[in-house]
Amino acid sequence: MREPVSTDKAPGAVGPYSQAVKAGDTVWVSGQVALDPQTGELVSDDVAEQARQVLANLGAILTAAGSGMNQVIRTTVYLTDMNDFATVNAVYAEAFREPFPARACVEVSRLPKDVRVEIDAIALLDRD
């Protein structure tokens, strides 16, 4: 069974998709970009600030789903410039602790709203 997840503490979906979907004991979070949930505007052109907002949005959705950053088992990081890898990696390391999630990182030609970074995630649900 699938159950959509929605919170106003993260930007709303800008298309025909859910912020996240719970399925079984997992939650699948759609790619998050650096939009402020209150204004819908890009937080900054700075890639570190964008990465922090992306991870905050991701965390808010995970919380709404009954999970959290410590339950993330897989992420995909999308960058428009692989030269930003070290900067984004440092911010990413602030958000996750060992054991770190499995991860892929890819460079793409363009992202929605012309952001510099997008991250999606798969996490376990707290079932205590």
CATH number at residue 91: 3.30.1330.40
What is the pLDDT at residue 105? Answer: 98
Domain count, the chain: 1
Q: Which residue has the higher pLDDT, 14 or 4?
A: 4
Side chain identity, residue 78: Y
Which residue range(s) make up the domain with 69? 2-124
Encode pLDDT of 92-110 as tens digits.
999 999 999 999 999 999 9
- Return the amino acid letter for 94: E
List, by residue number, the catalytic residues: 105
**Model-level pTM?**
0.96
Distance CA 96, CA 93 (A): 5
Report the pLDDT value the prediction gives residue 13, as an integer from 0 to 100: 87
What pLDDT sits at residue 126?
A: 82
Burial 60-99 (b: 16+ CB within 10 A, else e): bbbebbebebebbeebebbbbeeebbebbeebbeebeeee
